[in-house]
Structure 1
Amino acid sequence: MAQQSKKIMIYQLLPRLFGNKQQSNIPYGTITQNGSGKFEDITSQALDGIKELGTTHVWFTGVISHATLTDYSTDGLPANNAQVVKGRAGSPYAVRDYYDVDPDLAVVVKNRMAEFEALIQRTHAKGLKVIIDFVPNHVARQYQSKMKPAGVKDFGEGDDVHVAFSPANDYYYVPGKDLVVPAPKSDQPTPLSVLQQQHYTESPAKATGNNVFSERPSVDDWYETIKLNYGVDQQNGAKQYFNPTPAVWTKMRDILVYWTGKGVDGFRCDMAEMVPLAFWQWVIPEVKKINPSLIFIGEAYDPTTYKSFLTTGQFDYLYDKVGLYDGLKRLIRSEDNADVNDIRKVWQQESAGFGDHMLRFLENHDEERIASPGFVGKAEFALPAMVVSATLSGGPVMTYFGQEAGEPGAGAEGFGGEDNRTTIFDYWGIPEHQKWMNNGAFDGGQLSPDQQALRNYYVKLLQFAGSSEAIANGELWEIPVGGNMNKRMYGYVRYTANQRLLILVNFDRHYRMESQVQIPAQILQNRPFTTAEDKLSDLKLTDLKDNTIPVWVLPMSAQILAF
C-alpha cells in the first residue's frame, strides 16, 4: 500500500461537552441545569490549543442532529419520546436528521447550520481538517428529516411494511407485531422518573440497529435505533440484492456528498463492519469524485477483515482496537497476562503490510478514561503506551479531549451511570478539561503542576511524532531489551536514510530497563554515531562508542532516542 505523505494526528471532541463551562453536574440534569457547549465555544484560542498537540484533523463528534429529550418546538424540533432516547441529551449515534446539526450546539437555534459552517471555516483557518461522524447502520426510532433538500425521500417513505424484508425497503420489519420497548434496568436511574410517562407506538415494529429482528429488543440492545436495509436479507442466509442499487445506498451517498459540500474533510464511519463491504467499495470512490483528498475511517473490530476493508472497501484507515489498544491496556494495568508480545503480534501479524492504515488510540468516547478507577487510576501510567501508539507506524494517532489533562470520567452522569467513561448521552461539565479551558481562555490556567507536566508530555510527544520522517515512513526493526524473561519492556528502531530513532518503553511498575543496545549494521548503513538525544526529555548521551547505546529507562516510562 502507498506510503503516507504525512502522519495524521486526530483530536476527538464532543462540542456539547468540550466548551461547556458550567460546573453544576446534576445526574440526568437538563441543558439549563448542566449546560451545553456550543460551536461558538470552539474558538480560535481553543483551536490553537488543539493544534499545539500536533493535531492535523479535529473529529467533531455528535454534530449531526440526533434524538433528544430537549424541546425545541419553537424552532420546529420537538423533543423525542423518552422511551426511545438514551439520556437527556440523547445518543449522537441515534441520528434523527442526517441533513441537520444538533440544536444544542447553537447559540441561536435557527442559525445552527451557519454556526457549524463558521466552525468549519475557523478550523480550516488554523490549517486543521474537519472530521465528522457518518452513522450508516442505523437511525433514531423517530427519524424524520426536516432539513433535507427538495426531492429527497425520507428513510422508510414508500416501504412495504407488510413484509419482513424487501430489497426495495429502507427498513426491516416485524409484520403484525408492535414494538415492545424494554423496561430500564432496576439499578439504573431513568429520566422517565422525572418526566411525564410517555407511551411509544411503533406498528409494525422495525428491526433494531444491532441486528435484532424481533419486536422485543432487550435493554442492552440499541433499542433506540432502527437497522437500515442495504439489500441484505439478514434472516435468510444474508442473501444479497445489490442490483438494482438499493435506495439506501444512493441516499447515503447523497448525505456524504452534502457534508462534503459543507467543507468536511473526512468521515469516521460508525460500525462500518455492520454495513456490506460492497457498499463501501461503491460509495467511497463515488464521494471522492467530489473531493479526492477526503479520508474515510472505519470502526472495525475483526482483524480478519481489516485487509478487505482497506483494499476492497477502499477505507483509508481502520480502528486498531482489538489489536494494539487491548494489548496496551493490559500492559498499562499491569495485568497478569500483559505481554509486549501483543505489540509484536500487531505489526508482525495482524496489521502486517498495512500498519500505516491503522488508527491508534488509548481513549475515545466508547472506552474507559485512563485516569478512571476502572482503567488504571493514574494518567501517567499510560505514557509508555501513548509513545507506542504514536510511533509504531505512520498511521493516525488520536487523542480524546481531556486525556491530556488526566480527565477521569467520574460521576454517574445519567444513562451511562458510573462507568469510567465520559458520557455521550447527557449534559455534563468535564472538570479536569475545564481547568485547561479556564473559562474560555484555553490556556491551562487552572491545571495543577502535575497536569501541566502531563499535557506538556503529550505536546512534546505528538508534535515530534507528527513531524518525524522516520515515524511517518520509516522501517521498523525490533531491538531486544530487558532480557528474554521480561514481558513488560520493549524496544524498536524506526529509521529512514535521514533519521534514526530508538524507541524504548518500560511497562514494568518496579524495575528499570537497563541494557546495552548495539545498533545493527543494516540500520547504520555505514553511518556511525557518537551521540543520542531523547526527544521526550533533556537526556543527551555523548561519547558513545561501537555504535552502542546504554539504555536506562525508569519504570512506567519511555524514551525516543535520536542517534
Structure 2
Amino acid sequence: MYKIICFAVLFFYNWAIAQTPTKMTKEKKESEKKTDKLVVYQIYTRLFSNTKTTNKFNGTIKENGCGKFNDINDKALQALKKFGVSHVWYTGVIEHATMTDYSKYGIQKDNPLVVKGMAGSPYAVKDYYDVDPDLAVNVKNRMKEFESLVKRSHKNDLKVVIDFVPNHVARQYHSDVKPPHVKDLGEDDDKLKSFAPNNNFYYIEGQQFVVPENVNPPVKVAEPFIENPAKATGNDVFTSIPSINDWFETVKLNYGIDYLDNRSTHFNPVPNTWLKMKDILLFWASKGIDGFRCDMAEMVPKEFWGWVIPEVKKVNPHLIFIAEIYNPSAYWSYIAEGKFDYLYDKVGLYDGLRRLMQGGGDANDITKVWQNESGNFANQMIRFLENHDEHRICSKFFVGDAFKAIPSMIVSATLHSGPVMLYFGQELGVNPNVAEGFSGDDGRTTIFDYWGVPEFQNWVNDHKYDGGKMTTEQKKIRKFYADLLKFVNTSDAVRNGQFFDLQYVNNNGQAPHYNDQKIFSYLRFTEKQKLLFICNFDLENSYSTAVNIPVGAWEMMKLDPSQKYTFKGVFGNKLVIEEGKADKVKVDIPKNSVLIFEIK
C-alpha cells in the first residue's frame, strides 16, 4: 500500500509540472512565446580580456595587467553569440574599492586596510553611479567606454546583465559623480542612533571600528583607518570588531529592519534607502542594460523587491531580475512577493550535482530538488556548475577534470526550460592552482586581484577570440559545450517542453540493473518533439539496463502506449532502437555519460 501511495504522489507531481504553462510576456503579442531558456555567460570583466602573463602574486595593475571594456570587441561578442549565448553578465562593472590610486582623476583614494586584494572586491561598491576605472582605456571617458560596450553587445544580438549590490557598500563609500539631486548614502544619517528608519547605515553606538588584527595589505599603509562610530558589517555583523573572515571591508545598508529589536520592520513610510536604491536602478536602466543580477538578494527584505522591481519595470518592462539566493524556503516568496524573474538554483541542483560529480551523492536528489524546492516554478531557476563564488570544476577542490562535468552540465541545461549559466573559461577547463593574492590558493579564479587566466588566454589569442592557442583537450571540451548550447537553442522540447521525471518507476529494483543512485532519467516533450534523457553519473561503471516509461507519461505526450516506437539517438548519441516497446527501453550506457533519444 505504501508503494502505491508513493507512486500516486510522485505521479501527481509529474502531472502538475507537466501542466505548468509556458510563461507569456504582456509586452509581446499574445501569439508569441517568451522563452525562459536564456543562456547566460558570466564575464569577470577585469580578467576576461587580459592578455598579460606576468601573474605576480599581489601584482599591481601595471605588473599583471587588466582587461578593458574596449577589449571586448566585436570579434569577442560575435564568438560568444555563435557559441550560443543570449545574455552576457558583465561582473565588476560598478566602481568598487581598490588599492590602485586614481585620485588624480578626482576619485577618492581607498585605505588599503579596508580593501580585499590589490584590485579589490567588486562587491565592495564605493560609487553606485560610476564604473570601475580599472576597466577603462581612458579613465576620464570610462562611462562612455562602458556605454559603447553595451551598444556593441546589443549590435551583436546579446543582452547585457550587470550586478546590483544592494545589501552592502565599501566602508569608504563616496560618490564622486552622483547626479545633482542625489545625496550620498549616510549623508543625512543620525549617527547617534544605532537604528533609525531613514538612516542608510547601522551604527555601533559609542564604539570605533577595529580593523581585523590579521589584515596585512601588500602596500604601504599611510594612515590608520578611522570609522567612528563603527558601522555594522555587510554580512549582518553588528559589532565594531569583525573578523577577517567577515565582509569587514563592507558596511550593511539599512532597509528599515531593526535587527537589534527582534527584526522589527519600519517600511511605512518608504525608507530613504529604498528610494536611493530605486534611483540607482533607474540610473543603470537608462544606460540600456537588460537585467540585473542582484547580489545576496535574500539579505534585503522581499518587501523592498516587491516594491522596487515593479517600479523599475514601469520604465523598462523587459528588464530581468535574477536573485542570488540560498534559502529554498524563501524561494516562492521572492518570486510571488519579491517579483524576481529568476532565482539561483545553488543549494538544490548545484549541490546535488556536485556530490554526484565527486563520486558520491544520490541521483534521486535531483527529484527531491524539483519536488521540494522549486516545484511549479522550476523554469525560473537559473542552473549552473560554476560562477565566481564556486570552485572551478577542474580545480583540486572539485573534480580536477572538465569532462567529469558532462552529465551534470547536460542536466543543468535541459532539466527544465529555465536559464542556464556558464562562467567564463568553464568551457576551456580553467584550473586555478596557485595563490593570486588575497584569497590564496582556493580553487577559484580570483575576484580580488589583477591576474591573467592562462587557459582562457589560449582562446582570447591576443584579442582575436578565435581559440588559436587552445590545446587539443580544450578544443574537445569547448566543442562539447558548443554542441550542448546549440542543442539547447534548437530543441523545442528543451526550450518549451513539459517535464516528466521517470525516476519513481525505475528505482527500488523496478527496472533491471537500474542503479537509481547513479542513473537519472526523464522526459521533455512538446507536440513537435519528444525526448528521453538517461544520465549515468557513475564515474567507474557502465550499465546494461532498461528504462520504464509508464502509461501516464505516454498519455501526457499524447502518444498511444500500445504502439511500438523508434528511439533515435540525438546530441552525439548514434544509437537507434527500432520498434522499442513503449513501456521499457533497453540501453547500454557508458560511465559518466548521457543518452538522449528522440521518440518517433
The equivalent of 1:331 in structure 2 is 356
Q: Is the 8 A contact 2:513 2:544 kept in 1?
A: no
- Verify: 1:281 aligned to 2:306, yes or no: yes
The equivalent of 1:344 in structure 2 is 367
Q: CA deviation at 1:78?
A: 4.1
1:481-520 mapped onto 2 (5 Å cutoff): 483=513, 485-517=515-547, 519-520=549-550
Amino acid of the structure 2 residue aligned with 1:554: P
The equivalent of 2:145 in structure 1 is 115
Task: Name the TM-score, length of structure 2 as normaliser.
Answer: 0.90
3-state SS of 2:243 partner: coil
1:215-364 mapped onto 2 (5 Å cutoff): 215-335=240-360, 338-364=361-387
The CA distance in 2 between the partners of 1:253 and 1:443, in whole Å, is: 40
Q: Is the 8 A contact 1:12 1:364 kept in 2?
A: yes
1:403-552 mapped onto 2 (5 Å cutoff): 403-479=426-502, 480=506, 483=513, 485-517=515-547, 519-520=549-550, 521-526=554-559, 530-537=565-572, 539-541=574-576, 543-547=578-582, 549-552=585-588
Amino acid of the structure 1 residue aligned with 2:570: K
Match of 1:554 among 567, 587, 590: 590
Q: CA deviation at 1:544?
A: 3.2
Q: Is the 8 A contact 1:297 1:317 kept in 2?
A: yes
The equivalent of 1:127 in structure 2 is 157
The CA distance in 1 between the partners of 2:156 and 2:496, in whole Å, is: 25
The CA distance in 1 between the partners of 2:491 and 2:61, in whole Å, is: 43
The CA distance in 2 between the partners of 1:120 and 1:108, in whole Å, is: 17
Q: CA deviation at 1:371?
A: 0.2
The CA distance in 2 between the partners of 1:144 and 1:130, in whole Å, is: 26
Partner deviation per Cα, 1:183-213 (whole Å, 9 max, x = no partner) = 226xxxx434x42454100011111111111
Classify 1:531/1:111 alpha carbon distance in 2 versus 1 (closer, same or farther; 3 Å).
Answer: same
- Verify: 1:161 aligned to 2:191, yes or no: yes
Amino acid of the structure 2 residue aligned with 1:3: T
The CA distance in 2 between the partners of 1:524 and 1:74, in whole Å, is: 66
The CA distance in 1 between the partners of 2:557 and 2:311, in whole Å, is: 45
Q: CA deviation at 1:484?
A: 5.4
Classify 1:241/1:402 alpha carbon distance in 2 versus 1 (closer, same or farther; 3 Å).
Answer: same
Q: Is the 8 A contact 1:466 1:472 kept in 2?
A: yes
Amino acid of the structure 1 residue aligned with 2:567: A
3-state SS of 2:422 partner: strand
Unmatched tracts of structure 1, length 5 or more:
none
The CA distance in 1 between the partners of 2:267 and 2:286, in whole Å, is: 27
The CA distance in 2 between the partners of 1:144 and 1:45, in whole Å, is: 36
Q: CA deviation at 1:341?
A: 1.3
Partner deviation per Cα, 1:258-293 (whole Å, 9 max, x = no partner) = 111100100000011111111001000000001111
The equivalent of 1:43 in structure 2 is 73
Q: Is the 8 A contact 2:488 2:494 kept in 1?
A: yes
3-state SS of 2:315 partner: coil
Q: CA deviation at 1:538?
A: 5.2
Amino acid of the structure 2 residue aligned with 1:424: I
The equivalent of 1:148 in structure 2 is 178
Match of 2:232 among 198, 207, 214: 207
Identity of aligned residues (%): 51
Match of 2:51 among 5, 17, 21: 21
Partner deviation per Cα, 1:216-252 (whole Å, 9 max, x = no partner) = 1111110100100001111111111111110100110
Match of 2:217 among 187, 191, 215: 191
Amino acid of the structure 1 residue aligned with 2:528: N
3-state SS of 2:534 partner: strand
3-state SS of 1:46 partner: helix
Match of 2:128 among 80, 84, 98: 98
Classify 1:2/1:415 alpha carbon distance in 2 versus 1 (closer, same or farther; 3 Å).
Answer: farther
Q: CA deviation at 1:410?
A: 2.2
Classify 1:531/1:446 alpha carbon distance in 2 versus 1 (closer, same or farther; 3 Å).
Answer: farther
Q: Is the 8 A contact 1:489 1:513 kept in 2?
A: no
Task: Report which stretch shifted further, 396-405 or 504-513.
Answer: 504-513
Q: Is the 8 A contact 1:137 1:209 kept in 2?
A: yes
The CA distance in 1 between the partners of 2:180 and 2:75, in whole Å, is: 38
**RMSD over aligned Cα, in angstroms?**
1.6
Amino acid of the structure 1 residue aligned with 2:362: D
Classify 1:475/1:323 alpha carbon distance in 2 versus 1 (closer, same or farther; 3 Å).
Answer: same
3-state SS of 1:191 partner: coil
Q: Is the 8 A contact 1:273 1:300 kept in 2?
A: yes
The CA distance in 2 between the partners of 1:485 and 1:460, in whole Å, is: 28
The CA distance in 2 between the partners of 1:36 and 1:482, in whole Å, is: 56
Amino acid of the structure 1 residue aligned with 2:55: N
The equivalent of 2:114 in structure 1 is 84
Number of residue pairs matched by the alignment: 556
Unmatched tracts of structure 2, length 5 or more:
1-19, 24-33
Task: Name the TM-score, length of structure 1 as normaliser.
Answer: 0.96
Q: Is the 8 A contact 1:302 1:322 kept in 2?
A: yes
The CA distance in 2 between the partners of 1:484 and 1:463, in whole Å, is: 30
Classify 1:529/1:62 alpha carbon distance in 2 versus 1 (closer, same or farther; 3 Å).
Answer: farther
Q: Is the 8 A contact 1:490 1:504 kept in 2?
A: yes
- Verify: 1:378 aligned to 2:404, yes or no: no
Q: CA deviation at 1:45?
A: 1.1
3-state SS of 1:155 partner: coil
3-state SS of 1:490 partner: strand
Q: CA deviation at 1:552?
A: 2.1
3-state SS of 2:375 partner: coil
The CA distance in 2 between the partners of 1:503 and 1:375, in whole Å, is: 25
Q: CA deviation at 1:516?
A: 3.2
Q: Is the 8 A contact 1:36 1:105 kept in 2?
A: yes
Match of 1:61 among 91, 95, 120: 91
